[in-house]
Amino acid sequence: MTVVTAQSRAQLATTISLCFLVALMEGLDLQAAGIAAQGMAAAFNLDKLHMGWVFSAGILGLLPGAFVGGWVADRIGRKRVLMGSVALFGLFSLATALAWDFNSLIVARCLTGVGLGAALPNLIALTSEAAGPRLRGTAVSMMYCGVPLGAALAAVIGIAGFSGGWQVVFYVGGVVPLLIVPLLGRYLPESAAFRHGQQSTENGTGLWHGLFRNGAGSSTLLLWLSYFFTLMVVYILINWLPSLLVGQGFTGVQASWVMLALQLGAAVGTLLLGALMDRLPAWAIASLIYLGILGSLTALGLASAFEHMLVAGFVAGLFATGGQGVLYALAPLFYPTHMRATGVGTAVAVGRLGAMSGPLVAGQMLALGTGTAGVMLASAPGIVLAAGAMFCLSLRRNKLAPE
């Protein structure tokens, strides 16, 4: 028994470590467009509305990637799909750096998003299944903190001054994932559930039935609502905050420092809230997260001094991205093993709709002259809805947690 336990712990550590590396690169690429926005806009002569489409193109690709990636993984294995998705977003991150006009930029960002979207539900499923129910929240949070740390790495590249041009961040985001793929093939364990023959054989009709049968329908809809509005706010911050800060009179380097503070706060929040999820009542975590988001959005909209903006950015990252990490740890609890990647993938896909609409809405509002405060405060109603949905989910958590 001791040998088995040691092997299980070693497999869990290996799974978390390798999935963390992928999450690190995912976070870097998700932040890359926001960090490179000023140089990208100048290179292709793009206005704010066009930049909104550049941001949203990457998120648009996340939508089919998350849905199809989860569905296919429940049939052929998490590991295979993860390797393919990492290779895909690595290649098209390089293609982003080599884009020659607005249209090629849009296509490259969209296909990068497909790879990123397919990776995330498999990162969550692999980590969740390796950890088991008792450590699921902590393990998923440890893996997912790679996303904000990767975004922080992108901010560091921005602070360094882009000596090689705006393309540097995309070169890093392309080459490193391609180097990770062989490591996944050699060392990443496949999900034990898949190895033991629990893969799904349901068709498309059975898929939708599986998401809504046996009392799972309300949980599915509540997950979708929480994911939609939480990711809407997270992606407004990721994509537009650097440009908003520059528009307020801050320098590009100061904006990158605020983004670094936001992503460091996100890493701390992901780990802290994930650990608290395994120890405190879920309703308390939900209340803490969304009250923190509302407070930090207000501070970002009203702060004027650079020091105050740094603190507001850190707190926004702690609660907004940290809360997103809690949602990712929560979703696997509501689906059985043979539907887990599909269930998580559909929730992530719906969240990507919110993520895609956020930058577009913010771009339209800025074009109308609402300013930073208007963008931040307009996000509040959606956060209230997400808070209500997550609170209801927290009440159902213990009743519907599968093995």
Element containing residue 88 per DSSP (H, E): helix 78-97
State the Cα–Cα distance between residues 148 and 264, nearest whole angstrom: 7
Q: What is the dihedral of CA 124, 58, 75, 274, to 10 degrees?
A: 10
State the Cα–Cα distance between residues 270 and 289, nearest whole angstrom: 11
* CB of 356 closer than 8 Å to CB of 238: no
The highest-confidence range among 215-224, 273-282, 309-318, by mean pLDDT, is 309-318
State the Cα–Cα distance between residues 368 and 355, nearest whole angstrom: 21
State the Cα–Cα distance between residues 344 and 194, nearest whole angstrom: 16
What are 376's two structure tokens? 């931040």
What pLDDT sits at residue 157?
A: 81
Q: What is the mean pLDDT of the chain?
A: 81
Say if residue 287's pLDDT is above 70.
yes
What are 48's two structure tokens? 């704010």
DSSP-derived secondary structure letter, 332: G
* CB of 325 closer than 8 Å to CB of 318: no
Stretch 268-286: mean pLDDT: 81
Say if residue 2's pLDDT is above 60.
no
State the Cα–Cα distance between residues 252 and 308, nearest whole angstrom: 17
What pLDDT sits at residue 1?
A: 37
Domain boundaries, the chain: 9-191+210-400
* CB of 172 closer than 8 Å to CB of 53: no
**Of 392, 372, 386, 146, the residue nearest 290 (C-alpha):** 386
State the Cα–Cα distance between residues 38 and 163, nearest whole angstrom: 14
Cβ partners under 8 Å of residue 129, min gap 6: 191, 192, 193, 332, 337, 340
Output the DSSP codes for 12-49. Answer: HHHHHHHHHHHHHHHHHHHHHHHHTHHHHHHHHT--HH
Lowest mean pLDDT of 70-79, 128-137, 304-313, name the range: 128-137
Stretch 354-366: mean pLDDT: 77
* CB of 11 closer than 8 Å to CB of 155: no
Residues above pLDDT 70, as percent of the chain: 89
Residue 112 — very low, low, confident or very high, per pLDDT cuts 50/70/90? very high
Q: What is the pLDDT of residues 228-249, one digit of tens each?
A: 988 888 877 777 777 778 877 8
CB atoms within 10 A of CB 280: 12
State the Cα–Cα distance between residues 238 and 32, nearest whole angstrom: 9
Distance, C-alpha 46 to centroid of its chain: 26
Say if residue 25's pLDDT is above 80.
yes
Whether the pTM exceeds 0.85: the reply is no
Please state the three-class secondary structure of 92-131 as a single string: HHHHHHCCCCHHHHHHHHHHHHHHHHHHHHHHHHHHHHHH
Q: What single-letter amino acid sits at 14?
A: T
* CB of 313 closer than 8 Å to CB of 262: yes
- Name the one residue in this structure whose structure tokens are 């999820």: 277
Stretch 77-96: mean pLDDT: 93
Half-sphere exposure (Cβ direction) of 83: Cα atoms closer than 13 Å: 14
* CB of 51 closer than 8 Å to CB of 40: yes
Handedness of CA 386, 391, 392, 393 (dihedral sign): positive
Task: Give the gyration radius of the chain's Cα atoms.
Answer: 20
Cβ partners under 8 Å of residue 43, min gap 6: 166
* CB of 290 closer than 8 Å to CB of 323: yes
Q: Which residue has the higher pLDDT, 332 or 403?
A: 332
Q: What is the pLDDT of residues 40-57, one digit of tens each?
A: 888 888 887 788 788 878
**Of 138, 216, 207, the residue nearest 393 (C-alpha):** 216
One of 1.10.357.10, 3.30.930.10, 1.20.1250.20, 3.40.50.300 is the CATH number of 9-191+210-400, namely 1.20.1250.20
> Distance between terminal CA atoms of the chain?
20
